Structure 1
């Protein structure tokens, strides 16, 4: 028999309302299946809302209020829960933030900046301050905390997602941090690789023309939903779920993966760069290394 997982309503607004939803549902004597009956959503979706890991859409909130007789409580409050979950993140990132926690596989291409899921605090601060120099200190701290919180999907209690990332070699050579902090950033990535939490490949700086040269991309796969592609610019983000376009992006990513170095050689390159930064030196690049 499955063990009932308790919900910590004090962990945040989404968890508070999720716990309240479970309380009202059980008070009404309804199972998850009975409560979603007549809506366009499944029991897994509703369960994730109850545990605070997913925001509640307005149409589902209306349905729940109707079934539970809660007089519009969840419709009024779902916006508050969504705002709390988005704390520290841009509004256009909401769909991806929700998707990351449910994905079985995430494949990411990072040509100019290390991915948010892999950033340490100093790296995140450098990126955020460079983008938003006029933000108040508390807003910067909020954004850093939100970014670091995303990496909790690599915690010991999470069995998924399987995370693949292709990094451009220039990210190792052109540091935005002091040498010591950059060494710590690369050590963080090395640790995740050696723990089996992530798979990393490096695209050599002199690889020539290659797929996805126009910018970063993320592809997410799920057990219970179609795949999703996320593209992000300086101040905007765009999700794509059209099957034909997703298929094209996946092909481009597979071709890019084929052009990148194998993980073993990539890891050796990252380790060598980390060691040079640790010694206060500037990494010299792939062309001067013997990684055989």
Structure 2
């Protein structure tokens, strides 16, 4: 995978620490007399995943790092290192690892049934969503969350940006999040990214019916030299899935959603039409 960045640590130094993490894992495992398969069985991942951790190809989830500490009796070393590299307090605990994976993904596919994906959000839209979910927090808290969300979107600015696909439900185009002016700006931003061929977005029309209610938010990520993962989220928690069978089912669900969507051209026209509707509404209020 490409080097990760963020959290105030440069690309090179951050990757160097991950490589140290992997080298130390290998050293501790060999000292314990365990093969990759044997350690994997004890921490409930495959031996192949242990190999990927050791090569700094894939990053373990927190609970895996904690189980490695327990099995290898390393006094919390791997948990502390994980927290230093991944545990970004600007994000919910269950989402920090997802942000790390986004930075190294070669392809990201998302389904959004009710709220636009964070990678597509404008500041005004992100601010409105944050306040709606946290009505009693300070302005400083809101701005920190908005800043973090906009920072995530910088991966779409890079020359090595991932291939980005999104399937949106038409309902989210109609809800004036942040007011009609903010919503018009948001949809115009998405349309601009589509016209610039930075992202590939399609829309499931309201008339599609049941096929659009297959579940909540879904994100799929692919990598150059590691297996794909899936991420699902509800209002209060999220789950990162890397079991191959489960990821395959998630990919099939996404394929079915994509089939139900309008063509890219029709989707762009619908997004621009919705933006114009919100713009006209803003001009009359």
For normalisation by structure 1, the TM-score amounts to: 0.73
- 1:250: Cα distance to partner? 1.2
Which of 104, 107, 115 is the matching residue for 1:105?
Answer: 107
**In the alignment, which residue of structure 2 is the partner of 1:133?**
135
**In the alignment, which residue of structure 2 is the partner of 1:69?**
none
Q: Could you tell me how far apart the structure 2 residues matched to 1:107 and 1:168 are?
A: 14
Q: What root-mean-square deviation, in Å, do the aligned CA atoms of Structure 1 and Structure 2 show?
A: 3.8
Q: Determine if contact 2:107/2:164 at 8 Å carries over to the other structure.
A: yes
- Residue ranges of structure 1 left out of the alignment (5+ in a row): 1-5, 26-31, 67-71, 283-292
**In the alignment, which residue of structure 1 is the partner of 2:8?**
12
* 1:133-172 equivalence runs, <5 A: 133-160=135-162, 162-172=163-173
SS at match of 1:217: strand
Instruction: Flag the structure with higher helix content.
Output: 2
Q: Is 1:247 aligned to residue 242 of structure 2?
A: no
Q: Could you tell me how far apart the structure 2 residues matched to 1:210 and 1:122 are?
A: 30
Q: Could you tell me how far apart the structure 1 residues matched to 2:16 and 2:219 are?
A: 34
Q: Could you tell me how far apart the structure 2 residues matched to 1:239 and 1:19 are?
A: 22
- 1:79: Cα distance to partner? 2.8
Q: Could you tell me how far apart the structure 2 residues matched to 1:173 and 1:59 are?
A: 46
- Greater CA drift, 258-267 or 74-83: 74-83
- 1:151: Cα distance to partner? 0.4
Go from structure 1 to structure 2 and tell me whether the alpha carbon gap of 1:219 and 1:74 turns closer, same or farther (over 3 Å shift).
Answer: closer
**In the alignment, which residue of structure 2 is the partner of 1:95?**
97
- Residue ranges of structure 2 left out of the alignment (5+ in a row): 31-35, 37-49
SS at match of 1:207: helix
- 1:163: Cα distance to partner? 1.0
For normalisation by structure 2, the TM-score amounts to: 0.74
Which of 119, 122, 129 is the matching residue for 2:121?
Answer: 119
Q: Could you tell me how far apart the structure 1 residues matched to 2:16 and 2:229 are?
A: 30
Q: Determine if contact 2:105/2:223 at 8 Å carries over to the other structure.
A: yes
- 1:142: Cα distance to partner? 1.2
**In the alignment, which residue of structure 1 is the partner of 2:84?**
80
**In the alignment, which residue of structure 1 is the partner of 2:186?**
185
Q: Could you tell me how far apart the structure 1 residues matched to 2:205 and 2:4 are?
A: 46
SS at match of 2:159: coil
SS at match of 2:90: coil
- 1:94: Cα distance to partner? 2.0
- 1:145: Cα distance to partner? 1.0
- 1:95: Cα distance to partner? 2.2
- 1:165: Cα distance to partner? 0.6
